[in-house]
Each structure stands twice: as C-alpha cells, then as structure tokens.
Chains A and B, each alone.
Chain A
Amino acid sequence: MRALKVGEVVETATSRFTAHCYELHGAPPLGSLVRTGPPGRPVFGLVAAVRTASIDPGRRPVARGREEADPEEIFRQNPHLAQLFRTEFEAVIVGYAENGAVRQTLPPTPPRIHDFVYLCTPQEVTGFTERLDFLGLLLEQASPAPVDELVAAALRQAAGHRPAPEEFLVRAGRELARLLAPNPVRLQLLLRRLKGGA
C-alpha cells in the first residue's frame, strides 16, 4: 500500500509545518501521522489543526444553499467555488528518520517549502509508534490544537492499526502516566479520552 500524497508544505518552522491540501476539505483527520521532506530523511508530523478558508482574505463566502437539500449540490452547481477556497493543515513535528532509523526528536532542519506531504500507511504508523518517546515531545508543545486532544487522537489511531489495541493503549497510558505523574487530574482526563476509542 502506497502512502497517499495529500499536499505540499507552504509554511515551515523547527517544530511545525503547514501544508496546503490538493483537495478542498482533503486534510487527514486530527492526529494522523504524515510524512514530508526528502525520502532519504523524512520528517514526521501529526495533523494538529485543519483550516479551510477563502484564498483571498478579503472575500468571504456567502450563503448559497437556501433551495438545496444537500450542501454538496452547491459545489456541483458552482464548480469554480472549489478554486476560491483552500484547505490547510498544521502538523506538529514528532520525529524524523535518518539512515532508516526513526528518531523521535526534532529534525536538525525543518522541511522545506513545497516538500510533498504524504499520509502515512498503517505499517508506517505502527512502525513509528512502536516507541513512545514522541509523547514527551508532544506534551511540551504549545500546539495549535489542545495538546491532550491531539495525543488522544494520535494514540487511538495508532491503536486501531494494531491487532491488540487495548495492550497498546495500556502501554501508551503508562508512558503518559510517567510523564504526567505530577498532574494526576490531567492524566486521568487524558486517559478517559484514550479509552473512548478503544
């Protein structure tokens, strides 16, 4: 199974990058693992915030669907609309790979503008989440989305690709318990969110 190409990097920084999706509303779900950068040294990120807005900040869309039963009908009747809007998502960097080895830490240099962004395959997701060091990196981020929601969403997805999701969640939960030991209330709320997807 080949990774799906979803967009291109349009803004980049040390700990995060923004990608423009090729399809309107075509961003991967919150917490999905994406990959960008050159094949020799890919950078991994988690989809943290998705935004769809007008290409021209001065022109806001107007309501068009009074007579329609289905919002999709609006796009079918006005095919140019898809060109007036764009979908972007922001990804939090959680690691990179070098010489085939995954490192769950920030890459020395961020991805470059126009690097392609791919949605990782289930194999890539389970491979990357075999280790859970990225959780520490993630919890320290001032992420665009509430961090705990992001963590829960990412771990639920990773669990879903595994034959024994419950075991993975317990392992991840214990890692979180270690990291959030001084803050048991936050930990417990996070664990409840995790369990919601088990």
Chain B
Amino acid sequence: MGRDGRGPLLTRPRRIGRVVGGSVSGGLEVRLDAEVSVEEMGIGRFVTVEGDRRRFLCLVTDVKLKSVSEQVASVPPDYDDPFIARVMGGITTYGVLQVLPTLILPAAPEEPPEPVKTVPAHFSPVYEATAEDLAAVYGDEREAHNFRVGSPLEMPEVPLCIDIRRLVERSNGVFGKSGTGKSFLTRLLLLGIIRSGLASVLVFDMHNEYGWKAEDKARRAEVKGLRQLYRSSVVVFTLDEESSRRRGVRYDSVVEIGYDELEIDDLLLLAEPLHLSGRAPDLMAALERYYGRDWLGRFLGLEDPAERDKLARELGFASSVVGALYQSLGRLKRLNFLKPKADSRAVDLLLGYLRTGRSVVLEFGRTNDLLAYMLVANVLTRRIHRHYVEAKERFLGGAGEDPRPLVVVIEEAHKFLSPAVAQHTIFGTIAREMRKYNVTLLVVDQRPSGIDEEVMSQLGTRIICSLDNEKDLESVLTGVAGRSELRTLLARLDTRQQALVLGHAVPIPTPIRVRDYDETLYRALGTAEAGTLDLERDLFGDGAP
C-alpha cells in the first residue's frame, strides 16, 4: 500500500541526487546524479530527502552548474565528443539543486507533517516527490474542505489542494499585476469556498466578471460565473439594472443607497476623488449637527447660492468653503444608485440572503468608477459588519446562532487599505479584528505596496501572481520566512496561470500552476454540489424558478 493507504505505489520514485551540504535557514545543496539532467529540474519542483530517520519535503529554489575545479572551466573538455560528454557530465561538471526543506513528512498517514528543525545528514538520497507525498501534506482533494487550486509547477499531474477551513478563518489576499489572472484565481477560490459550504461570500464585482459569466481573453471563450455554477446558492444584485439586463445577466435585485445612509467617514474616504478641501471634515460635522441625519440630502438641495451663503454665515464658515463643499459633494449626484430617499429593502434582502447561507455578487454595471465602487463597498460592508457584530454578540450572550462566516471580496484594495485611509474604513477594521465577528476579507489588488503594512501582516493566506515592481514584491512577502528564496521563485513565475500561495491555508509556501477554468472544473464542482446548501426552496418554496 502507498503511504496514505490509497493503493500500491506503482513506481518507486526516481532518485535524482544526494545532499552535499546546507543549513536549515539557507536550504540544502543537492548534487544531481550523473544521469539526471539539470534541464529536467526547474525551480518550484518538489523533492523528498530520505534522511536516516525522517523524510523531508523540499522545494527546489535554484539550479546551479558546478565543476570540480576551476581548470575545467578554463580548459574546457571536448564536449562535442559524445563519449567524453557522457563520462564527464555529472562528475567533472555537475548540477546542483538548491532546495528549501519545508516539512518533515509524517511516518503514518494520520499524523500531521512537522516543521523542519534540522537537516538530513550528508549524502542523504534525494528523490522526486510523488502524488502521495504531496497529498500527505496538502490533503486529499476528495475531502470536502480541501479544494484543488492547481498543481505544483512542473508536476501537472499532481493535484495540490488548499484547506478552505483554514482559508476562511482569516482575511486573505490575491495579488498580481494586471493580466496575470487574478480574477480567474479569485473566482476559483470563491467556488471552493461556496462548494465547501463553510462560508458565504459577498463580492463587490467592479467589472461584472464574477456573477453570471466572464470572458477568458487568452482563450477567447466565455466562462461561467458563480451564479451559473452554483445556481441555488448564489444571488446576483446589481447597481445598474439596465446594464445587467443588456448583458443578459439574471439579477435578483437592484441596490439603491440613500443619502441618509452615508456617513462622514464614508465621504472622507473619498476625499481624493471628490476633491474635498482641508476644511471639509469640520464643515460636514457642522452640517450634520445643524440638519441631523439627512444633512447631505438637505445640503445638496440648496441649489440657490444665496441660501448657501446664508447657511455659511449661520455656521460660521467662509462662503467659499461651503461653496467648494457643495461643488465637491455635487459629484455624488451623477451616481444613479444614490437616491435622496432610497428603498432600503434591497440591502435588507441582501443581508437576509447572507444570513441564510447564500452568497451575493453585487455587479456595478457601467458605474464601475472608483468613486462609486469605494462608496458602495464601504457603506454596504459597514452595515453588514454592524449586523454581524450584533449577531455575534447575541450569540456570545447565549441568544441566537453563531452567524455564518462571511468573506467579503474587494478589488482595488489598496484604495481602501492604504495607510492614509485604512484607519477610517470598515475594511481596515475587519482586517485588523480578524475573524472575531465571523467576517473576513478577500482583497484583490495589483499594488500591494499601497496597502497598510499592519493590514498586510494580518492577511492569513496570500496568493501572489506575477509581480515585477520591487516595492510590491517586498510588501507581499512581509513577515514571511525564507523571503529571499521565495522572491527568486516569485520573480520566475509565468505571467499567466502561475502563483505563489503562502500562509494559513497551506502548510508551506507553494508555487502552483493554477488549474484550468473549464469544463473539467465545472464537472468537478458538479459532483460536489450535494454538499452545498439548497436554499431556493427554503426561501421561496417549491415554486422557485
């Protein structure tokens, strides 16, 4: 039987070399056997080292060419002669792998892998890692809480899973420069979360690519969104009814937000796009005191400049300051979903869906500018968070149920979580309080260096696609052991379909080839659908569409 009891080991893993030196911190040096070509051994591959008593799982982080003496390089042998090349290759000149010991593999399948505290002895043999080795570490994909996100680099036949239970315990991040497949990866993670039934998802879908369908630009094909794949557990809300209808999206409800739902902090978050002046915060506070809760609607109703001047005198502000604020806040009028008096039932409905364990995608339609996005995401999330805090407190007080965990997905996250605004937005709060109230974030971003360091350090799992800005690379690896090796790996990732996963949901930092988003995936999800919630009936009875 194989090590995990899954059946016989068909082939003994191939030996590729022996350990010739190294350290726990700096990694091991493995001299390749003469028969093994350096070209077979890319970085990101997994190998196992058979020590005297333990087996180590290691990740290849570098491949080097070495020779026994400098003379070989200065008087090169006649490698055109196949005999001489065969004899000297691998002996006089040879390949060395730099490998990072990541875990000690368990002796029995039921034990967990242990962290590495030592290195294998000199000349321990090194083998290619097998699917069994990786399943012992990453978990078996047949268990519902393990979701296959891809395969190790250069080992496409081996499934590699992340643990959704651990993923939803903390806030997480998906990073990568544009065009690296962040949204495909995010959609994949969301499918994994929904499939597991462990949490609900709320997506602020700026570019309308999660709900119904999206376009795969590389393959020029349409791919299915969450709603198409998990019909009964995903609801689509829209801010732009007309756009959704034109795109043929089946939306469930239209969201509107009333002026009275906006708080001063929400507007301060938008200081930049609204061009708010330095005096604006004081003035808004004064307006709120003066008019009460509906201050914004009433202030924007002052269309006559004379009335505004009168107000300025009463509040003791210069009329130019009041005029400037009126101009700035006037920009909100072009946001169609903002209404002086909004029908707030949509938001209650959204909350209701989340409460019953469904996931919600909020499409922005054509209103996909940053101003609208930040405003809506912040306002809605604050309300939802407040609701969760209350529910959780009730639960802790012995009344009601523990609210179902919620993952909130935001794009362009550096705008919400930059050091300047992270203190003010609800997202900063959620990231910092971790999972205290069962709400966590999934931030999707291309400029991780713009995100507040404290928030960054709270992210449980980071999934990093190709990045080339130095600052961004630095920032995504904050607080991670083995940074320099990971950086080398990260810099070598393909710009498509490859990513580095590190943190809470994986036992070790792992470079992956992201699985294809295609029919095979749809089928794999289909077989798991039994495990998801079917609330259509609960909510609407048997007459549901």
Minimal Cβ-Cβ distance residue in A for B92 = A177
CB distance from A193 to the nearest CB of B (A): 12
The distance in angstroms between the C-alpha atoms of A188 and B69, with both chains bound, is 14
A37 at the interface (CB under 8 A from B): no
Complex contact A191–B69 (CB within 8 A): no
CB distance from B341 to the nearest CB of A (A): 86
The distance in angstroms between the C-alpha atoms of A198 and B81, with both chains bound, is 13
CB distance from A167 to the nearest CB of B (A): 10
Complex contact B83–A181 (CB within 8 A): no
B71 at the interface (CB under 8 A from A): yes
**B86 — which chain A residues lie within 8 A by C-beta?**
170, 173
**Residue with the greatest number of chain B CB neighbours at <10 A, chosen from A170, A177, A195:** A177
The distance in angstroms between the C-alpha atoms of A185 and B68, with both chains bound, is 13
CB distance from A172 to the nearest CB of B (A): 9
The distance in angstroms between the C-alpha atoms of A83 and B69, with both chains bound, is 54
Complex contact A181–B91 (CB within 8 A): yes
The distance in angstroms between the C-alpha atoms of A183 and B81, with both chains bound, is 19
B-contacting residues, A143-190, CB 8 Å? 166, 169-170, 173-174, 176-178, 181-185, 187-188
Which secondary structure dominates where chain B touches chain A?
loop
Give 8 closest A-B pairs by Cβ, nearest first. Answer: A173-B87, A181-B68, A177-B91, A184-B72, A195-B83, A177-B92, A188-B77, A184-B71
- Interchain Cβ contacts within 8 Å, total number: 56
The distance in angstroms between the C-alpha atoms of A166 and B84, with both chains bound, is 12
Complex contact A174–B71 (CB within 8 A): no
B530 at the interface (CB under 8 A from A): no
User: B60-101 toward A: CB 8 Å interface, digit per residue (1/0)?
Assistant: 000000001101100101100101101110111000000000
The distance in angstroms between the C-alpha atoms of A54 and B91, with both chains bound, is 48
B34 at the interface (CB under 8 A from A): yes
Partner of A184, one of B34, B75, B81, B90: B75
CB distance from A168 to the nearest CB of B (A): 12
**A176 — which chain B residues lie within 8 A by C-beta?**
87
The distance in angstroms between the C-alpha atoms of A169 and B75, with both chains bound, is 23
Known: A181-B91, A181-B92. A188 touches B83 (CB 8 A): no
Complex contact A191–B88 (CB within 8 A): yes
**B71 — which chain A residues lie within 8 A by C-beta?**
182-185
What is the total number of residues of chain A having a CB less than 8 Å from a CB of chain B? 20
CB distance from A174 to the nearest CB of B (A): 5
**Residue with the greatest number of chain B CB neighbours at <10 A, chosen from A169, A181, A184, A188:** A184
Complex contact A177–B75 (CB within 8 A): no
Complex contact B75–A173 (CB within 8 A): no
25 contacts between A and B (CB under 8 A): A166-B83, A169-B83, A170-B83, A170-B86, A170-B87, A176-B87, A177-B87, A177-B91, A177-B92, A178-B91, A181-B68, A181-B69, A181-B91, A184-B75, A184-B88, A185-B71, A185-B75, A187-B77, A187-B88, A188-B77, A191-B84, A191-B87, A191-B88, A192-B84, A194-B83
Complex contact B69–A184 (CB within 8 A): yes
**B88 — which chain A residues lie within 8 A by C-beta?**
173, 177, 184, 187-188, 191
A-contacting residues, B172-213, CB 8 Å? none
**A181 — which chain B residues lie within 8 A by C-beta?**
68-69, 91-92
Can you name 12 extra interface pairs (CB under 8 A) apart from A174-B91, A177-B92, A188-B88? A170-B83, A173-B88, A174-B34, A177-B88, A181-B91, A183-B69, A184-B75, A185-B71, A187-B88, A187-B92, A192-B84, A195-B83
The distance in angstroms between the C-alpha atoms of A183 and B88, with both chains bound, is 12
CB distance from A182 to the nearest CB of B (A): 5
CB distance from B74 to the nearest CB of A (A): 9
Complex contact A188–B78 (CB within 8 A): yes
**Residue with the greatest number of chain B CB neighbours at <10 A, chosen from A183, A187, A195:** A187
Complex contact A184–B77 (CB within 8 A): yes
CB distance from B327 to the nearest CB of A (A): 80
Known: A178-B91, A181-B92, A184-B92. A191 touches B68 (CB 8 A): no
Interface magnitude class on chain B? 10 to 19
The distance in angstroms between the C-alpha atoms of A146 and B59, with both chains bound, is 48
Complex contact A188–B68 (CB within 8 A): no
CB distance from A197 to the nearest CB of B (A): 11
The distance in angstroms between the C-alpha atoms of A187 and B83, with both chains bound, is 13
**A184 — which chain B residues lie within 8 A by C-beta?**
68-69, 71-72, 75, 77, 88, 92
The distance in angstroms between the C-alpha atoms of A135 and B90, with both chains bound, is 19
**A187 — which chain B residues lie within 8 A by C-beta?**
77, 88, 92
CB distance from A175 to the nearest CB of B (A): 9
CB distance from A116 to the nearest CB of B (A): 37
The distance in angstroms between the C-alpha atoms of A193 and B68, with both chains bound, is 22
The distance in angstroms between the C-alpha atoms of A166 and B83, with both chains bound, is 9
The distance in angstroms between the C-alpha atoms of A194 and B83, with both chains bound, is 10
Minimal Cβ-Cβ distance residue in A for B68 = A181
CB distance from B264 to the nearest CB of A (A): 76
Complex contact A195–B81 (CB within 8 A): yes
Known: A181-B68, A182-B68. A188 touches B84 (CB 8 A): yes
Minimal Cβ-Cβ distance residue in A for B76 = A184
The distance in angstroms between the C-alpha atoms of A198 and B75, with both chains bound, is 25
The distance in angstroms between the C-alpha atoms of A35 and B90, with both chains bound, is 35
CB distance from A73 to the nearest CB of B (A): 44
**B68 — which chain A residues lie within 8 A by C-beta?**
181-182, 184
User: B309-335 toward A: CB 8 Å interface, digit per residue (1/0)?
Assistant: 000000000000000000000000000
**B81 — which chain A residues lie within 8 A by C-beta?**
195
The distance in angstroms between the C-alpha atoms of A182 and B78, with both chains bound, is 17
A-contacting residues, B18-77, CB 8 Å? 34, 68-69, 71-72, 75, 77
Minimal Cβ-Cβ distance residue in A for B67 = A184
The distance in angstroms between the C-alpha atoms of A198 and B82, with both chains bound, is 13
CB distance from B66 to the nearest CB of A (A): 12
Minimal Cβ-Cβ distance residue in A for B73 = A184
The distance in angstroms between the C-alpha atoms of A191 and B86, with both chains bound, is 11
The distance in angstroms between the C-alpha atoms of A170 and B87, with both chains bound, is 5
**A191 — which chain B residues lie within 8 A by C-beta?**
83-84, 87-88
**B84 — which chain A residues lie within 8 A by C-beta?**
188, 191-192, 195
**B91 — which chain A residues lie within 8 A by C-beta?**
174, 177-178, 181
The distance in angstroms between the C-alpha atoms of A145 and B362, with both chains bound, is 89
The distance in angstroms between the C-alpha atoms of A177 and B77, with both chains bound, is 12
A-contacting residues, B236-257, CB 8 Å? none
CB distance from A103 to the nearest CB of B (A): 24
Minimal Cβ-Cβ distance residue in B for A171 = B87
Minimal Cβ-Cβ distance residue in A for B88 = A177
The distance in angstroms between the C-alpha atoms of A29 and B34, with both chains bound, is 33
